[in-house]
Amino acid sequence: MKRSFMVLPIVGLIIAGLLGSCGAPDINFPGKASSKTGDKYAFKDGAEGFPVKEFKGMATAPGLVFIIGGTYFMGGGEKDIEYSFDNRKKQVTVSSFYMDETEISNLDYKEFLYYILQDSGEFMFSQLYPDTTVWLRDFTYNDPMFEYYFSHVAFNTYPVVGITWHKANAYCNWRTAHVNNRLLEKDPEAVLWPRYRLPTESEWEYAARGLLEQENYTWEGKSLRTPYGDFKSNFKRGRGDYAGWAGGTSGKDLRFFTDGHFYMGPVQGFYPNDFGLFNMAGNVAEWCEDTYRVLSYEDEDDLNPIRRFGKSKIRPDKLLDDTGYNEKFSLLYNPDPNARPGAENDDNIKVYRGGSWFDVAYFLTAGSRRFMHADTSSNTVGFRCVMTRLGSPK
């Protein structure tokens, strides 16, 4: 008898829990009828009533990893060795979004070019082809990389480089249309995914930190090696040291002296961060959507911050112009059209983030910022895509 008194409360709690979970409302389901008019909704074609598309929550599009949004301190990190003062700490909030698990690989970009050639012809194909001359140097024998890095199958799983900011955006636009067309082929009434795009600076840094906002790097601690001696990223150790000492007599011994790559490595090389993203530090740096300004942190909003242009239209409390708006210039921005072009006067100067195989560890820090002209490409800069999360942020 004593045992029965002990069991019954537990059974009762289990039953109550099951009943409670079964009765939980589906926040994405609007109900069978309007709560305001009482009219029935029509969820099927031909049914009587106001047509409503049933939505069970946003699915994850191909290649992406879900990044739950939140607040964090953007910027900061190692000592500002360049004295650029362009990454002061600022608390911001980033909405939930999705990001590519890996950098866009050579194979991914070849797929893009394959369809571009079919749909748009040779001229557009040639315009979007990676600039392989980024490998050519007068005093370095990079000729094999110039000849084979993009074209040879040996590098299919390596990150694409030689891509301008504009070409990266072209890939994003094509990918959006391509995956949505695949949905429409299966169901003409399918709910389409939002567009693939380049990440904002704030999104990129938030994802790179992996919720470890107090850390300098994209992993926990200040060590550049794992407890087993493996390097956590692909970077340059110092002057003339791109891979470390060969040393050792076996593969197990070699890991203590080298990262295994003299240039970049495969897009799934090394270790992912806590969001499951590979190579957010090292391998290749990555394009962001933002226009570069030294003092962006001063005048950007603190919710989903982005800088699109050096100047913007605002609605101040007074001094309105005829349109009801007034022009606001970014700090240090010179509105004079005859001003000497530079990072503070050109809206085509774009941000790229993350260190590369060519960079020392300082640039692996999540808060470091650099810039390059949108029409320029490099053998150290690639990209990955993001997608906005619609509906519930969880």
pLDDT category, 325, cuts 50, 70, 90? Answer: low
pLDDT category, 341, cuts 50, 70, 90? Answer: low
Q: Which residues pair with 105 in a beta bridge?
A: 159
Could you give the percent of the chain with pLDDT greater than 70?
Answer: 80
pLDDT category, 12, cuts 50, 70, 90? Answer: very low
Cβ partners under 8 Å of residue 352, min gap 6: 285, 286, 287, 288, 370, 371, 372, 381
Helix (H) or strand (E) holding 18: helix 2-22
**What's residue 3's pLDDT?**
46
Q: Pick the range with the lowest mean pLDDT from 45-49, 105-109, 307-311, 315-319.
A: 315-319
What average pLDDT does the segment 175-188 reach? Answer: 94
Domain 65-309+347-388 has CATH 3.90.1580.10: yes
pLDDT in tens, 221-237: 888 887 777 788 888 88
Domain spans of the chain, in order of start: 23-56, 65-309+347-388
**What's residue 352's pLDDT?**
96
Q: Which residues pair with 287 in a beta bridge?
A: 352
d(CA 60, CA 209): 21
Q: Is the pLDDT of residue 326 over 90?
A: no
What average pLDDT does the segment 122-128 reach? Answer: 97
Q: Is the pLDDT of residue 319 over 70?
A: no
Radius of gyration of the chain from its Cα atoms, rounded to whole angstroms: 26
What is the bridge-based pairing of β-strands 381-382 and 285-291?
A: parallel
What average pLDDT does the segment 33-45 reach? Answer: 85
Question: Measuring CA to CA, which residue among 302, 390, 348, 314 is closest to residue 73?
Answer: 302
d(CA 19, CA 1): 27
State the Cα angle at 49 between 44 and 54, rounded to 5°. 40
**What's residue 14's pLDDT?**
46
d(CA 196, CA 176): 5
Q: Across the beta sheet with 369-373, what order do the strands follow?
A: 369-373, 349-353, 285-291, 381-382
3-class secondary structure, 90: strand
d(CA 169, CA 374): 10
Burial string for 346-357 (b: 16+ CB within 10 Å, else e) reads bbebbbbbbbbb
Top mean-pLDDT range of 28-42, 45-59, 373-387: 373-387
- Specify whether the CB–CB gap between 128 and 170 falls below 8 A: yes
Which residue in this structure is represented by tokens 């490998």? 135
Top mean-pLDDT range of 192-206, 245-259, 340-354: 192-206
What integer best gives the mean pLDDT of the chain? Answer: 83
pLDDT category, 331, cuts 50, 70, 90? Answer: low
DSSP H helices, 268-345, are 296-299
Q: Which residues pair with 155 in a beta bridge?
A: none
**What's residue 324's pLDDT?**
52
Cβ partners under 8 Å of residue 371, min gap 6: 292, 343, 349, 350, 351, 352
Amino acid at 87: N
pLDDT in tens, 143-171: 999 999 999 999 999 999 999 999 999 99
What average pLDDT does the segment 284-312 reach? Answer: 86
Q: Pick the range with the lowest mean pLDDT from 173-182, 216-225, 366-375.
A: 216-225
3-class secondary structure, 291: strand
**What's residue 8's pLDDT?**
42
* CA 308 to chain centroid: 17
d(CA 98, CA 65): 5
User: Left (φ > 0), alpha (ψ -120 to 50) or beta: where does 90 sit?
Assistant: beta
| DSSP calls for 35-67 | TTT-PBEE-STT-SSEE------PPPPTTEEEE
- Specify whether the CB–CB gap between 382 and 104 falls below 8 A: yes
Per-residue DSSP letter, 365: S
